[in-house]
Structure 1
Amino acid sequence: MQTPDPLALDFVKFSVDAGVLRFGEFKTKAGRMSPYFFNAGLFNDGAKLGRLAEFYAKRLIDSGLAFDMLFGPAYKGITLAAAVAIELARLGRNVPYAYNRKEAKDHGEGGTLVGAPVAGRVLIIDDVISAGTSVRESITMIRAAGATPCGVAIALDRQEKATENGNDAPYSAVQWVRSQLGLEVCAIATLTDLLQYLQTTADPALGTHFASVAAYRDRYGV
């Protein structure tokens, strides 16, 4: 096991307590039966969203990643980018943010981008990277605006093999974004952190899930 990351372990505990990280049997988009499920849509009240933003902001500040503004891909990324911008400002780092609409607006200011002008080094804020589709779409919009995508911040890196033409790939979606798109990915926590939490938790009921999650990592992990 790696050296414990206190921020990541606190985030895993927060996610479990908030009901966002659940254990059981869940079918993933890739058709795998996963022993855990992370649903960021359940950070659905002011207190949870504010705490989530604290974790993103602390991880970003600790990472040293250089960025000039935030971009939130529709739809989950919109709320995340706004919340993280508020928390960064509270911590003394005031940066602009923008997001996209799914459909272009033909009246008012028009277009698909909303918020601050997209310029400089743009950090994409999302919950997870499953296939990289949202990231690729964001990159296209950011570059079309004349700006430079510089990285992606996510809540959880599942650290599992991506799928390619229905088969397991030798790399994860996050690794693909790093190697093929050239973007740094900054995650609050990873599957490794989740396993460490399950192995060290004082809650015996939670600890029982360690074996199934470890087996899943052994089969699909990178």
Structure 2
Amino acid sequence: MNQPAAPTLSASPPSDDLAQDFVAFAVQAGVLRFGEFKTKAGRLSPYFFNAGLFDDGAKLGRLAEFYARRLVASGLPFDLLFGPAYKGITLAAAVSVELARLGHNVPYAYNRKEAKDHGEGGTLVGAPVKGRVLIIDDVISAGTSVRESIAMIRAAGATPCGVTIALDRQEKASENGVDAPHSAVQFVQQQLGLPVVAIATLADLLQYLHRQGDAGLGEHLAAVQAYRDRYGVGM
């Protein structure tokens, strides 16, 4: 890395407490909700995670802290954060700020949905896309955004080195209306060859609900577990 403050991030075991704190924060922020929600795959999910509701400075700053702490704990080396439009743009900027606060001054870039034909032009904005590039997003639903990001990164002459997300749903991907034997995250890991670093997973959510007991949100445990049993992939 060209910048001395951004070496390979110091490795340490992922923290279960970090995942539990994140789930609790997401619930408190209204980002993680329970009920009955229809997914893009047409499934009725007992929970819904909408990262677009991290919609003020305090919540976005806290979210960035969770990403940065998980990345530092992962030990994954990277030279640049890449945020695919649109949600990834805000995430890349916010996490870059938090990493700098922690002593890792990592540049970031993002793409436009449509190429600009004036000014600096092109589809890529921000720092030069070079070296080892880490893609940042909220979730991986089908892997389409990741594949598009990989193509842009490679076209710029850089190397995609991984993906970081907020929540791994750990459920079977839907391919043409048919349940696949793998999740979207597993597809990225196994077929695209990129490690995926998630702040929390469905397993962490289940653990959080189990800890709630009969009070509070514990009543949703059975529904989430049933959904996991039907659509989940191996943890």
TM-score by length of 2: 0.92
Aligned residue among 105, 110, 120 for 1:94: 105
Q: Match for 2:135: what amino acid?
A: I
The answer on 1:151 being equivalent to 2:143 is no
Does the 8 Å CA contact 1:43/1:52 hold for their aligned counterparts?
A: yes
Match of 1:182 in 2: 193
* Aligned pairs for 1:15-26 within 5 A: 15-26=26-37
Aligned residue among 52, 61, 65 for 1:50: 61
* Aligned pairs for 1:4-15 within 5 A: 5-15=16-26
What SS does structure 1 have at the residue aligned with 2:25?
helix
**Runs (4+) off by over 6 Å:** none
TM-score by length of 1: 0.97
Moved more, 19-28 or 158-167: 158-167
Aligned residue among 130, 134, 140 for 2:141: 130
Give structure 2 stretches of 5+ with no counterpart.
1-13
What SS does structure 1 have at the residue aligned with 2:103?
coil
Aligned residue among 118, 132, 141 for 1:107: 118
Match of 2:80 in 1: 69
Match of 1:27 in 2: 38
String of CA shifts for 1:119-138, please: whole Å, max 9, x gaps. 00000000000000000000
Number of corresponding residues: 220
Does the 8 Å CA contact 1:122/1:150 hold for their aligned counterparts?
A: yes
Distance 1:80 1:47 in 2: 14
Give structure 1 stretches of 5+ with no counterpart.
none
Distance 1:4 1:57, change over 3 A: closer
Distance 1:107 1:101 in 2: 13
Pairwise CA distance, 1:164: 1.6
Match of 2:131 in 1: 120
Distance 2:27 2:170 in 1: 19
Pairwise CA distance, 1:202: 6.1
Pairwise CA distance, 1:165: 2.1
Distance 1:57 1:16 in 2: 20
Q: Match for 1:217: what amino acid?
A: R
- Aligned-pair identity in percent equals 82
String of CA shifts for 1:24-76, please: whole Å, max 9, x gaps. 00000000000000000000000000000000000000000010010000000
Match of 1:164 in 2: 175
String of CA shifts for 1:132-186, please: whole Å, max 9, x gaps. 0000000000000000000000000000000122100000000000001000000
RMSD across aligned C-alpha pairs, in angstroms?
1.2
